[in-house]
Amino acid sequence: MRITGLDLLNDKSRILAGGLLSGDLGSLRNVDGEGVPLPMRPGPAKSTWTKYKGDRKGYSVRRWSAPLLSPR
């Protein structure tokens, strides 16, 4: 991939090329995004829901999902 031009502003993104990346530019500016990364770790967090069957005196069935990733 060849990039030509006067100025290239790469604002919070990535430039990907399937092979050689070359260019003839006057200037290239990379602007980083601001933010706080949230570390993720595997843990015991699960979601659950209850399905009620019958009237108020009926019975219920509790379902559990597979473990999710939870933030610290």
Predicted confidence band of residue 38 (pLDDT cuts 50, 70, 90): confident
Centroid of chain to Cα 8: 26
Q: Taking residues 16-36, report their average pLDDT.
A: 86
Give the pLDDT of residue 66: 66
The model's pTM is 0.40
Tell me the CA distances in angstroms from 21 to 8, 11, 30, 34, one per residue in order: 14, 18, 16, 26
Predicted confidence band of residue 37 (pLDDT cuts 50, 70, 90): confident
Q: What is the distance between the alpha carbons of residues 28 and 4, in angstroms, rounded to a whole number?
A: 11
